[in-house]
Amino acid sequence: MLIIGAGGVGSVVAHKCAAVSEVFDRITLASRTKSKCDAIAASVRERLGRTIETARVDADETAELVALFRDLRPDIVINVALPYQDLTIMDACLAAGVHYVDTANYEPRDTAHFEYSWQWAYRDRFRTAGLTALLGSGFDPGVTNVFTAWLARHHFEAIEQLDIVDVNGGDHGKAFATNFNPEINIREVTAACRHWEDGAFVETPAMSRHARFHCPGNIGSYEIYRMYHEELESLVQTFPLIRRAQFWMSFSESYLTHLRVLQNVGMTGIQPVVHNGVEIVPLQFLKTVLPEPSGLGADTTGQTCIGVIARGRSRTGGTDRRVYVYNICDHAEAYREVGSQAVSYTTGVPAMIGAKQIATGVWRRPGVWNIEEMDPDPFMADLNTYGLPWQIQDPAEVGAP
């Protein structure tokens, strides 16, 4: 196993793979900054008594990646680097004969736009090479896709309406911070919203529609905002009877106020500007002065609540039915286990589980696949085993959007 990326998610993947020694008997963690890998390896050794190897690699450089792959000869690469680097890593996997797993789809550096077309274009090449590329094995995308596939198999004759709801009820005590890479997070949040309606994507201004959502248990009530998220693109193709699909995420008023100010003064821009004779990208500069997401874990409290609300024709009698399947993850508990907050945890655990399905042969199918195209049952079982147990509830009880 080779893990590329030494941020918060990479740390979780390393810890969770190391804990499943019966599957992952040799693990290497690689990044542009080897010292970050070494720190994670030390944590793995301290927490689990297991040694993992580390290496330096620039994931923007295909030749460097190929050289590393040929030296280490991994069976699988888990890509938790930046989405900009998906294609170089996929190219290296093809050159070296390695299976591929990621958690986020490709987007170019100079355009705040992300879609699967670039990676879907690799389908024939991976099929011909006899290699499996698994796309979107995080939480959203990832677990939310598997939830949808599992509901389609076991509960619905046809899913007609789909709402994905991502609530982070955590508090890190900072005035403004993002829970994952600030550059990727802000690009995603400020992009125009798209939702699926009657056979086409409909574009609306970012964050222009919101609703109140009451989470199960004692997590509380949160304002959720409709935005575009990549799993919608693949889910409406895999399940073509879906008439409406929407993605919702919670944001506090404080977060939104800070974000509006940063947008208004140009700090979220992605086009280069010249400052004191040096060309910089405002958003990349902003990233350097914001808190590092991987360092938020020790101070973050509260829980995440992420799930799927589906409506459609029931498998029993074809009557209209609504089902809500979700996971609740506690920030403090995640930190105690792996030293990372729940946002990293909920992304890193599914990356390990997806790689496990390929490693054990359960999901080993040549080609490029979105995760909902695989058998959902073993993945759902592993969520319960490896730290992300799921539950089912009547969505009417939580005030579904």
Within this chain, do residues 60 and 155 fall inside the same structural domain, yes or no?
no
Please check whether residues 162 and 113 belong to one and the same domain: no
Query: Tens digit of pLDDT for each residue in 164-181?
Result: 999 998 777 677 767 666
Is the domain of 71 the same as that of 153? no
pLDDT of residue 193: 93
Whole-number Å distance between alpha carbons of 358 and 5: 20
What gap in Å lies between CA 177 and CA 196, rounded to an integer? 30
* Of the candidate ranges 95-99, 151-155, 216-220, the one whose mean pLDDT is the lowest: 216-220
Whether residue 126 sits in one domain with residue 106: yes
| Residue 365 forms part of a structural domain | no
- pLDDT attached to residue 400: 66
Q: Among 151, 143, 196, which residue's Cα sits nearest to residue 313?
A: 151
Q: Is residue 256 part of a domain?
A: yes
pLDDT for the residue 398: 66
| 129/166 same-domain check | no
- Residues 120, 149, single domain; the answer is no
| pLDDT tens-digit map of 30-75 | 999 999 999 999 999 999 999 999 999 999 999 999 999 999 999 9
**Comparison of pLDDT for 31 and 292, the residue scoring more:** 31
Domain limit, last residue, from 135, 165, 185: 135
Kindly state whether residues 90 and 148 are assigned to the same domain: no
pLDDT digits over 11-33, tens only? 999 999 999 999 999 999 999 99
pLDDT value at 258 more than 70 = yes
Within its chain, how far is the Cα of 108 from the centroid?
17
CATH number at residue 35: 3.40.50.720
Helix (H), strand (E) at residue 238: helix 231-238
Q: How far apart are CA 120 and CA 93, in angstroms?
A: 15
- CATH, residue 203: 3.30.360.10
| Residue 127 falls inside a structural domain | yes
- In this predicted structure, what is the pLDDT of residue 18? 98
Are 157 and 298 within one domain? yes
Task: Look at residue 112 in the predicted model and tell me its pLDDT.
Answer: 65
pTM: 0.91
Identify whether 241 is part of a domain: yes
Q: What is the pLDDT of residues 326-360, one digit of tens each?
A: 999 999 999 999 999 999 999 999 999 999 999 99
What is the domain range of residue 97? 2-135
Indicate the number of domains in the chain. Answer: 2
C-alpha dihedral, 164 to 165 to 170 to 176, nearest 10°: 80
Q: Based on the fold, state whether residues 83 and 18 are members of the same structural domain.
A: yes
Look at residue 363 and tell me if it is in a domain.
no
Residue 359 maps to a domain: no
